[in-house]
Chain A
């Protein structure tokens, strides 16, 4: 049955062409859609220590830094807050206003907005963010943050968590990361470029 075989071949080729079309026009662009467009996007709804709501829309309007931590954190979080203080000092010396920085807790059970408010109060520009566990979990997903609760032998728990500071531009698009204890000059360089990228 050569006719039948030809028909199958033709249909096969048509199907392949269709798949190629779908790939090129829909799937590939989605795969190529950069992290910049999607990072931080989600339907989380949190509470900031300045009384405002913290949602994906909060990132729009002006550049910001976002990092995740918790107050029961002995080293990384206080150090990062201290580093942000150093960046803000350096920016201030250049006559720039402090960069908006959100400290989002990965431990909402213990970090209420009230207690976070004092915790971050000493660094200019830093705003604490908390909320229900469900909403925090959504934010952790949206920002692709790693956070894991680790029980301690003597009772209680600690949190393993990502230590990156994420920079977003004034349209809420992800710009770059600053690594834990990155050289302040390099970190502020990134912030300067972030500020310069504003349209």
Chain B
């Protein structure tokens, strides 16, 4: 009986750890949940990476850089719709994660941008991404690649705005 329960618990844990949604990484006071990237189209050389970062500490931190073997370089960007015009900018100095607050990197807003992808991002795969924070330092996490039209956290196909 006990073995069975243990098995069930282990199975549940395994399921959790292989489920992209809700994946969580902790780095000092920072909690990073639900990282994902979207599968790329044929010949699409760039991609956005998304996650939710919570700063549980009492000092601000800043996401200053990101890197991945999947891309020659990565930048931290903000996308915004200005009327019907899409504008994208690099965030100078990095993305501030204020103490006690949660910052969402999501489609249509902040994202880390994979540039010069070495190959397509394929649905079901994972890509490792190293994030560099000014205070907390580096953390490497697995970023699952989800199909287009699917955001994280159960957002439907239209999580862009």
Which residues of A approach B to under 8 Å, CB–CB? Answer: 71-76, 78-79, 81-82, 86, 115-116, 118-119, 121-122, 146, 150, 152-154, 156, 158, 160-164, 177, 179-181, 183
Contact = CB atoms under 8 A, between A and B. Distances in A.
Contact of B85 (A79, A122, A156, A161): A161
B148 A181 contact: no
Contacts of A177: 84
Contact of A78 (B44, B79, B84): B44
18 contacts: A74-B79, A74-B88, A74-B113, A75-B107, A76-B86, A78-B40, A115-B43, A118-B42, A119-B43, A154-B75, A160-B86, A161-B85, A162-B84, A162-B85, A162-B86, A163-B85, A163-B86, A181-B161
Contact of A180 (B42, B47, B86): B86
A190 to B, nearest CB: 15
Q: Which of A75, A76, A164 has the most CB of B within 10 A?
A: A75
A104 to B, nearest CB: 15
Given A72-B44, A118-B42, A179-B84, 11 more contacts: A74-B113, A75-B107, A79-B107, A122-B42, A153-B75, A154-B90, A160-B87, A160-B88, A163-B81, A163-B84, A180-B86
B88 to A, nearest CB: 5
Interface residues of B, number: 34
Interface in B29-63: 38, 40-48
A106 B16 CA distance: 43
B44 A150 contact: no
Contacts of A154: 73, 75, 90, 115
A152 B45 contact: no
Q: For the complex of A and B, list the 8 residue pairs with the smallest distance between their C-beta atoms, beginning with the closest.
A: A118-B42, A74-B48, A76-B86, A160-B87, A119-B43, A115-B43, A118-B43, A163-B86
Given A79-B148, A146-B85, A122 B41 contact: yes
Contacts of B115: 154, 156
Q: Which of B73, B84, B92, B108 has the most CB of A within 10 A?
A: B84
A119 B161 contact: no
A179 B81 CA distance: 11
Contacts of B89: 150
Contacts of A152: 75, 90
Contacts of B48: 74-75
A138 B86 CA distance: 20
Interface in B2-52: 38, 40-48
Contacts of B160: 75, 79, 180-181
